[in-house]
Structure 1
Amino acid sequence: MSQNERKVVAITGAAGGIGFESALEFYNNGWDLSLCDIDGALMSQKLDQNKFNSNRILSREFDIAKRENCETWIGETVERFGRLDCLICNAGIAHRSLFKNTDPEVILKVMSINFNSVVFLCHAAIPHLVKAKGSLIGISSVAGFSPLYGRTGYVSSKHALSGFFETIRSELEPELHVCLVYPAFVKTLFDKNTMDGDGKKLTREKPTIGNHLLPEVVAKTIFRSVARREKRIVLSPIAKLSYLISRLFPNFFTWIMKKNTQSEFL
């Protein structure tokens, strides 16, 4: 298959976890890759270890909180491959701290990565995605549809992401496929980079509810969602149960959520 015939996916947060496993899944299914991560060294290491064909990959080390970086990366992707068929907005950061103990700058930083960057990327990418009748994928979480104690910034960013994607879909389907993926706990290094209320790296452990999903399982689900043009995917039994309870019995959900998470902050 020639380069012009192969589809192209752009993935943020591609150095590990869901991002890297998604890159592997799409690559193994014949797609070319445009990858972006703030940790360029780790991304290069992963690419070298897995022996990717460099002719089928564009990788960039960028801070996607900056609009010019987002626009440059999307532009380079289309210039290199001549098309863009899918954008996966996966990059994200989190904090775990009560709002009263959280510097507002921490919340703004979370929003800048988890939401603002998505706005910048979508604004640059959507004309190309619509031309290809392609897909826009947002990686949300249980925090995208429910409250989550001690995570005001993270929850706000994921609620914003959900509202943004749902509205984009209403404006642009069927020319553009838009899908939100809601996993629960995923076995990645994401929590190792979580911030405390002062913006420093968090050191305390958090309780886990239910079993961890493997990132490769999430990646396969994402690839399938593109083929089936699914709109919303709630992954894992605990995420599905959380979705139902939060919608049908919101007060009960808040009570049980606090019961399982308040101990982190005592």
Structure 2
Amino acid sequence: MYEACFNNSFTNELVFYILLLVLFLISPLLFVWELIITVRSSFRPNENMSGKVVLITGASSGLGELMAYEYAKRGAYLAIVAIKEPESRLEQVAHKARELGSPDVLFLFADVSKMEECRMFVDDTVKHFGHLDHLVCNAGIGPIYSIDIDVSKFEPVMDINFWGSVYPTHFAIPHLTKTNGKIIVNASSSGVLNVPKGGVYNASKAALISFYESLRHEVSPKVTISIVTLGFIKTNIITAKYSTNTVGVHLRNDIGAVYPTMAPDACAKAIVDGVCKGATSITQPRFIKALFFVKFLFPEVHRFYANIYFSSMFDKLQKGG
């Protein structure tokens, strides 16, 4: 029935522009709808986290650490996970979380890229606390891709960023189903905007978004999924020092020196506040959401400004000074 429209190049384009025009005509209504949802969510009661159990991966630093503190202030029991390294601060994070109000904190060393270790820390959490309410999949790495670097060196990016979230999710779902729990996944706006030099990192985050958007249909309404898409947050992952310890391109300037960034403590609070209010999509800083709109509706415009803006800024990051 519709094949004639889509097989003809003119009518195929015509259908696209008609739908685009319809979208523009109803866009005021869509904006009002979005505003209503935003206002309603601000009045939605916060989930009482007192006595609930939260499992957070990648919790020894950055947003994982700060989210642990936010949950601790709300009286949640915590299981925090990080890879065992000489400089790991996981035990100190556990100590501070207790001081901030968490009744009990279990800290576990594990490699999220290994399936059996993910099974073990989920099982250990449930054995210790008896149940699981929130799973925060936060662990990730962010080397800067270049075609000049051996591509096989980037394999851990997908192992940690993608499988490091999928594995614990798989083992946690039976427990979260029992508690009407939540899965929070740090997927990054890079998975949507595909910023230059992101390469494999962008791909890993795009894979997360696709996986968890699909998973919603299987686990809803028993389990709520919150997908977090962040811009540049001022954590160690966007520093020049971090880049020198990765397989990717080494920077001479911090990314925060040339790109607009958000304070990590404000970001962590916004994420946990949103999750506790039942948000299923969280974007910080908020202006990033407008860029999603441009990227999907006007891909050529997005590529044009991304190439000019990000490429020129990246030169500054490499040159230093």
2:284 partner letter: L
Residue 187 in structure 1 maps to residue 234 in structure 2: yes
1:231–1:20 Cα change, 3 Å: same
Segments of structure 2 that go 5 or more residues without pairing to the other structure are 1-49
In the alignment, is the contact (CA less than 8 A) between 2:94 and 2:106 conserved in 1? no
Give the equivalent residue in structure 2 for 1:58. 106
Residue 9 in structure 1 maps to residue 33 in structure 2: no
TM-score scaled by length of structure 1: 0.89
**Aligned equivalents of 1:43, 1:75: Cα separation in 2:** 19
Give the equivalent residue in structure 2 for 1:28. 73
Task: Kindly indicate whether structure 1 or structure 2 has the higher relative contact order, using CA contacts under 8 Å at least 6 residues apart.
Answer: 1
Residue 174 in structure 1 maps to residue 214 in structure 2: no
Write out per-residue CA displacement over residues 100-141 of structure 1, whole angstroms, 9 at most, x where no aligned residue: 223222331100010011111111111101111000001121
Give the equivalent residue in structure 1 for 2:280. 231
In the alignment, is the contact (CA less than 8 A) between 1:245 and 1:252 conserved in 2? yes
Residue 213 in structure 1 maps to residue 262 in structure 2: yes
Give the equivalent residue in structure 2 for 1:86. 134
In the alignment, is the contact (CA less than 8 A) between 1:142 and 1:184 conserved in 2? yes
In the alignment, is the contact (CA less than 8 A) between 2:80 and 2:94 conserved in 1? no
In the alignment, is the contact (CA less than 8 A) between 2:94 and 2:105 conserved in 1? no
Residue 252 in structure 1 maps to residue 296 in structure 2: no
Give the equivalent residue in structure 2 for 1:76. 124
**RMSD in angstroms over aligned alpha carbons?**
2.4
**Aligned equivalents of 1:26, 1:172: Cα separation in 2:** 24
1:201–1:63 Cα change, 3 Å: farther
Query: In proportion to residue count, which structure has more helix?
Result: 2
Give the equivalent residue in structure 2 for 1:102. 149
1:225–1:26 Cα change, 3 Å: same
2:170 partner letter: H
**Aligned equivalents of 2:52, 2:310: Cα separation in 1:** 42
Q: Which moved more, 1:178-187 or 1:192-201?
A: 192-201
1:207–1:17 Cα change, 3 Å: closer
Identity between Structure 1 and Structure 2 (%): 30
Segments of structure 1 that go 5 or more residues without pairing to the other structure are none
In the alignment, is the contact (CA less than 8 A) between 1:95 and 1:196 conserved in 2? no
Aligned length: 261
Q: Which moved more, 1:215-224 or 1:107-116?
A: 215-224
Residue 210 of structure 1: CA displacement?
Answer: 5.0
In the alignment, is the contact (CA less than 8 A) between 1:178 and 1:231 conserved in 2? yes
**Aligned equivalents of 2:245, 2:199: Cα separation in 1:** 11
In the alignment, is the contact (CA less than 8 A) between 2:133 and 2:180 conserved in 1? yes
